[in-house]
């Protein structure tokens, strides 16, 4: 059993050389040791090739959503494994050479050092080998599905580990008759731990598996366990240099250590968080690690002075963004909530004209802040349950199920409306021209003035799904039985539409620049049809959706439909598609207009708040050390709860492409 040295020997002090920050959270990083090239991709599907100075060699977009990737040591071949087991093989300039379907339920891949072959493992216990031209060149089965694969650089052999339970060595015997391989599983050994990373030296004499609570296990090419390195913590990565003279180990606790082959600790350092990927150059002179938040850092291990191009004018290691995205901090952060529960159930909104940030917590008092974080005032407390905020240029309304407060943010005035309400369920407002549209108990629709006087109240024979009002005083409601009902300014019915088959519709006012006479846009979610209607309910155009949406928004000149997985599609007022956004690995996605009238998606992804265009290009992102709670977005900025505090990110100008 290999043990730690009592104290470090042959110590080395890793020196940060440079940091490159990706546009979105990091998804993958691989090093071509011979070529000196880093392959990097992020969650926005951006793809980069960086040299060892952190400079761009190439940049592009991933062909699709990537679940695994690798690059050959000579840099001649890149392999990307996508959703639905799609395989893309790319050249050194990121051009796609091959696109094809690979083995079903593919889960991991590896490339041989010279870029001649690609191995792909699946969850079906089978691994297939392809040539660089995408032709099947062999296959083999193991006791358990392999989660990690590596070609042995010095021979035609593959080492693989299951996520839990097995490490295997597979010899690739060339078959001269078929021109393919006849793989032979030479050995399979049991592991008693999950494996976070598999790596080896150039001759395969040192095979390392990072086994979390079981330390770093070491094997030889015959599958013999040669002992373990126990450093404290839970190792997730263990990578040797080509000769096996230096080993870099990182843990889930965020510690990075450098070891000798005998287990002597040469250096230890704390990282901001646990790395997502770690690599070491062939000679053991540099370590590269990528954090999930997007920072890619090069550590120099030689102890030599950094070259001028690696330093800023102040002598610090240079920090650059990979392309156009910014990593931002909020302009201000103000403690608001007294508890985590109060922060969780707070409601926030953005008013754009003039810019204001509004928030309501469990005390049911609406607080209004300026873009500079100055508290401008609080509205009167309202009673009841539930918290709802609606905005309109110059106005904001807060409501419970029983009461409404209307605030004129231009004059910084608030008024509690003297209305006797029972179970308010829908609220829409245009105080300057219409007043307020109100639905109670889902079956009574009404209109009142900004002073709180009823213009009309009408009882309906079925429940309301959605409510919208227009600038000429017409009110529209979509009903549970699939009807669209349109009322004139006095509450008299003037139009209707009926879906067939019956299904309740989402409803918005027609976007700016719509087809003449278009007043409303509806979305039949199950039928997946978007329709524009005039004030009589007549259909003016129809546009099918490619998937089932669950939200419909009017944003300037766009009607935007959004699916539960974050996919979005924007239509103009004539029913023409203006852009499609892919699904996002996010817990909450909102859409807003930027300052130039374009569309932005604001997504909460773990510790990140990310603002991107529909095509996936990231405008900016923020990283939080505390949980990100509810947030709201407008053309003037984004506000979000970071833990118990309210933060504000003002809109930033478009960054040159």
397-433 pLDDT, tens digit per residue, is 999 999 999 999 999 999 999 998 999 999 999 999 9
Across-strand partners of 251?
A: 235
Instruction: With a cut of 90, say whether residue 312 has pLDDT above it.
Output: no
Strands, E assignment, 382-423: 388-392, 395-399, 404-408, 413-416
What's the confidence (pLDDT) of residue 3? Answer: 46
Calpha distance 188→110 (Å, rounded)? 19
In this structure, what token pair is assigned to residue 526? Answer: 């199950």
Residue 568 contacts residue 551 (beta carbons within 8 Å): no
The SS3 of residue 341 is helix
Instruction: With a cut of 50, say whether residue 656 has pLDDT above it.
Output: no
Half-sphere exposure of 23 (CA within 13 A, CB side): 23
Phi, psi of 83 (to 5 degrees): -60, 155
Q: Per-residue confidence at 648, pLDDT binned at 50, 70, 90?
A: very high
101-121: pLDDT as tens digits: 999 999 999 999 999 999 999
Phi, psi of 620 (to 5 degrees): -160, 165
Phi, psi of 605 (to 5 degrees): -125, 95
Nearest to 484 by CA among 446, 519, 440: 519
264-303: pLDDT as tens digits: 999 999 999 999 999 999 999 999 999 998 999 999 997 6
What are the helix and strand counts (H, E) for the chain? Answer: 1, 62
Q: Per-residue confidence at 311, pLDDT binned at 50, 70, 90?
A: very low
Calpha distance 577→529 (Å, rounded)? 13
Instruction: With a cut of 60, say whether residue 629 has pLDDT above it.
Output: yes
Q: Per-residue confidence at 653, pLDDT binned at 50, 70, 90?
A: low
Which 8-state DSSP code applies to residue 381? P
Q: Per-residue confidence at 317, pLDDT binned at 50, 70, 90?
A: low
Element (H, E) at 520: strand 520-524
Calpha distance 14→306 (Å, rounded)? 12
What's the confidence (pLDDT) of residue 650? Answer: 94
What's the confidence (pLDDT) of residue 617? Answer: 87
What's the confidence (pLDDT) of residue 583? Answer: 87
Q: Per-residue confidence at 324, pLDDT binned at 50, 70, 90?
A: low
Question: Average pLDDT in the 563-581 region?
Answer: 94
Residue 56 contacts residue 49 (beta carbons within 8 Å): yes
Q: Per-residue confidence at 654, pLDDT binned at 50, 70, 90?
A: low
Residue of 533 and 7 predicted with greater confidence? 533
Half-sphere exposure of 323 (CA within 13 A, CB side): 21
Contacts with 55 (C-beta within 8 Å, 6 or more apart), sequence order: none
Calpha distance 439→428 (Å, rounded)? 9
Nearest to 324 by CA among 558, 569, 615, 592: 615
Residue owning tokens 């508890």: 339
Question: Average pLDDT in the 146-165 region?
Answer: 92
The SS3 of residue 577 is strand
The alpha carbon torsion through 122, 126, 131, 132 (nearest 10 deg) reads 10
Task: Tell how far CA 394 is from the center of its chain.
Answer: 33
Q: What is the CA radius of gyration of the chain?
A: 30
186-206: pLDDT as tens digits: 999 988 788 999 999 999 999
What's the confidence (pLDDT) of residue 587? Answer: 84
Phi, psi of 594 (to 5 degrees): -85, 180
The alpha-helical segments, DSSP class H, found in 311-433 are 340-344
What's the confidence (pLDDT) of residue 596? Answer: 82
127-138: pLDDT as tens digits: 999 999 999 999
Q: Per-residue confidence at 13, pLDDT binned at 50, 70, 90?
A: confident
Calpha distance 651→657 (Å, rounded)? 17
CA angle at 59 for the pair 56 and 60, rounded to the nearest 5°? 175
Calpha distance 23→39 (Å, rounded)? 15
Instruction: With a cut of 50, say whether residue 555 has pLDDT above it.
Output: yes
Instruction: With a cut of 90, say whether residue 165 has pLDDT above it.
Output: no
335-368: pLDDT as tens digits: 999 999 999 999 999 999 999 999 999 888 999 9
Question: Average pLDDT in the 200-228 region?
Answer: 94
Across-strand partners of 450?
A: none
Residue of 527 and 597 predicted with greater confidence? 527
Residue owning tokens 């992804």: 605
Phi, psi of 345 (to 5 degrees): -105, 10
528-546: pLDDT as tens digits: 999 999 999 999 999 999 9
The whole-model pTM stands at: 0.80
Across-strand partners of 419?
A: none
Q: Taking all residues of the chain, what is their mean pLDDT, rounded to a whole number?
A: 91
Q: How many CB atoms lie within 10 A of CB 100?
A: 14
For 376-389, give one letter per residue: b (16+ CB within 10 A) or e: eeebeebeeeebbb
Contacts with 135 (C-beta within 8 Å, 6 or more apart), sequence order: none
């Amino acid at each position: 059993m290999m043990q730690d040295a009592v104290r470090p020997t042959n110590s080395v002090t890793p020196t940060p050389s440079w940091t490159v920050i990706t546009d979105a959270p990091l998804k993958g990083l691989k090093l071509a040791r011979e070529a000196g090239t880093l392959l990097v991709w992020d969650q926005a599907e951006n793809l980069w090739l960086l040299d060892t100075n952190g400079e761009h060699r190439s940049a592009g977009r991933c062909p699709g959503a990537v679940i695994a990737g690798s690059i050959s040591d000579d840099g001649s071949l890149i392999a990307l494994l996508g959703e639905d087991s799609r395989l893309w093989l790319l050249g050194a300039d990121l051009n796609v050479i091959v696109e094809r379907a690979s083995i079903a339920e593919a889960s991991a891949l590896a490339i041989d050092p010279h870029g001649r072959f690609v191995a792909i493992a699946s969850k079906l216990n089978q691994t297939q080998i392809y040539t660089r031209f995408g032709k099947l060149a062999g296959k083999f089965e193991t006791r358990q599905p392999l989660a990690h694969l590596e070609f042995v650089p010095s021979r035609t052999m593959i080492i693989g580990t299951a996520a839990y339970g097995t490490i295997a060595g597979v010899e690739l015997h060339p078959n001269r008759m078929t021109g393919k391989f006849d793989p032979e599983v030479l050995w399979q050994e049991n592991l008693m731990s999950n494996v976070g990373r598999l790596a080896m030296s150039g001759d395969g004499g040192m095979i390392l598996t990072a086994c979390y609570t079981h330390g770093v296990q070491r094997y030889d090419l015959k599958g013999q366990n040669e002992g373990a390195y126990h450093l404290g913590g839970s190792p997730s990565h263990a990578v040797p240099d080509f000769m096996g003279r230096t080993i870099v180990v990182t843990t889930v606790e965020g510690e990075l250590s450098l070891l000798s082959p005998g287990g002597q600790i040469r250096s230890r350092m704390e990282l901001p968080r646990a790395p997502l990927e770690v690599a070491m150059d062939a000679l053991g002179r540099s370590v590269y690690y990528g954090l999930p938040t997007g920072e890619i850092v090069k550590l120099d291990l030689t102890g030599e002075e950094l070259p001028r191009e690696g330093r800023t004018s102040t002598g610090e290691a240079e920090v650059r963004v990979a392309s156009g995205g910014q990593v931002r901090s909020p302009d201000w952060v103000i403690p608001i909530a007294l508890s985590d529960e109060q922060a969780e159930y707070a409601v926030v909104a953005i008013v754009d004209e003039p810019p204001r940030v509004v928030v309501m917590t469990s005390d049911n008092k609406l607080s209004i802040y300026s873009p500079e974080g100055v508290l401008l005032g609080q509205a009167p407390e309202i009673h009841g349950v539930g918290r709802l905020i609606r905005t309109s240029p110059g106005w904001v309304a807060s409501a419970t199920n029983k009461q409404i407060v209307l605030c004129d943010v231009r004059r910084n005035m608030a008024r509690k409306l003297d209305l006797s309400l029972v179970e308010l369920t829908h609220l829409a407002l245009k105080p300057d021209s219409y007043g307020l549209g109100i639905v109670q108990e889902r079956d009574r629709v009404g209109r009142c003035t900004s002073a709180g006087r009823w213009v009309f109240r009408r009882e309906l024979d079925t429940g309301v799904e959605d409510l919208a009002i227009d600038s000429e005083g017409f009110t529209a409601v979509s009903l549970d039985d699939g009807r669209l009902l349109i009322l004139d300014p006095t509450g008299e019915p003037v139009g209707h539409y009926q879906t067939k088959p019956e299904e309740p519709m989402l409803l918005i006012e027609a976007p700016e620049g719509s087809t003449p006479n278009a007043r409303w846009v509806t979305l039949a979610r199950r039928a997946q049809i978007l329709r524009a209607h005039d004030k009589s309910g007549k259909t003016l155009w129809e546009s099918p959706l490619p998937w089932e949406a669950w939200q419909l928004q009017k944003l300037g000149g766009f009607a935007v439909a959004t699916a539960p997985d974050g996919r979005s599609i924007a239509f103009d007022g004539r029913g023409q598609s203006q852009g499609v956004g892919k699904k996002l690995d996010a817990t909450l996605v909102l859409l807003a207009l930027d300052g130039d009238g374009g569309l932005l998606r604001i997504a909460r992804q773990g510790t990140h708040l990310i603002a991107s265009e529909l095509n996936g290009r990231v405008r900016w992102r923020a990283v939080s050390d505390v949980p990100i709670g509810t947030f709201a977005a407008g053309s003037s900025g984004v506000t979000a709860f970071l833990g118990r505090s309210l933060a504000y990110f003002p809109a930033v100008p478009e960054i040159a492409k």
